[in-house]
Amino acid sequence: MAAVGTTTLGLILLSVTLSLLTWVLGALHAWLKQRRTPGTRKTFIQLFASSASSSFITLAALGFIVLLTWCVFAVRTIYFDHMDLASLHAADLKLRGQLQRDLEFRRHNVSTTDPVFPNLIYMLQAFRGFRNAIGKESCVVSVTALPESVPMASTIAQLSIQASNCSTFGPFPSDMDPDQKTLASTGMVPDAIVFHAARDDEAALRLFEELGNQIRMVRNYDLPANPKYQAPPGGYAHTIWLQFGSKVKWNSEVRH
């Protein structure tokens, strides 16, 4: 059905069919007409053959018209397709340039419109609040993480030092230290940070609650039995262990 529709093949078939039908009907009309007149009569085949030249001329004319029409519309289609592709290419180049500029900007800057900015700001404020709550008392933050959560754990560990002024250790590579791997994985909670701190540490509880606004947190009172850091005489007044589970994300990532 599609072949005899509005396609190029349909137009050609329609033109050839009309030409042949006109040829046959013309010969048939001449044959019927001669039967009503006296004189020498020709057979239908003879009449059909005698009208071949005019039919071929008609067919050639139709073929020329079809070919010319096809050429015109082919050129027109190619032109407009080219213009559409050129427009899309220009839009892609413009978008590529914008993305390259954005990427270069983000290599050296933190955009205030990206979710990472408030995430980091509120995280720093939480650790600053912790420092304000403990005053000049000593503190330590130990960070362990499974491999997939190491990038996020390292970011928080390195930036939190500036706000908390606590001795901060980790995350250490677990593939080089079996004990560290056991410490990071035992009791971890997927998609969450297990927040270890003493039960009666009010400042730590405040830090837990404020960090929980940005990241999924799970409270725990157990502290590492054999930490990787050297504690001062008498130990630290406040000890916090952030145990990153698998695939930890900011709450802003989870909501999207």
Q: Per-residue pLDDT averaged across 25-47, rounded?
A: 62
142: pLDDT strictly greater than 70: yes
Predicted confidence at residue 13, as pLDDT, reads 66
Last residue of a domain, one of 63, 78, 108: 108
Its pTM stands at 0.67
Predicted confidence at residue 175, as pLDDT, reads 72
Q: Are residues 140 and 43 part of one domain?
A: no
- Mean pLDDT (the chain, rounded): 84
Domain range for 28: 2-108
Predicted confidence at residue 35, as pLDDT, reads 62
Predicted confidence at residue 49, as pLDDT, reads 64
Last residue of a domain, one of 108, 138, 172: 108
Q: Are residues 203 and 82 part of one domain?
A: no
User: Band of the pLDDT at 4, cuts 50, 70, 90?
Assistant: very low
95: pLDDT strictly greater than 50: yes
Q: Which of 15-29, 91-105, 147-161 has the lowest mean pLDDT?
A: 15-29
Q: Which residue has the higher pLDDT, 160 or 7?
A: 160
Judge contact between 16 and 60, C-beta under 8 A.
no
Helical ranges in the chain per DSSP H: 8-35, 44-50, 52-108, 116-134, 150-164, 178-185, 202-211, 251-255
- HSE-CB for 57 with a 13 A CA cutoff: 3
The two structure tokens encoding residue 179? 């004990």
Q: Are residues 151 and 91 part of one domain?
A: no
Q: Are residues 234 and 135 part of one domain?
A: yes
User: Band of the pLDDT at 123, cuts 50, 70, 90?
Assistant: very high
Domain tally, the chain:
2
pLDDT digits (tens, 9 = 90+) for 196-254: 999 999 999 999 999 999 999 999 999 977 777 888 888 899 999 999 999 999 999 98
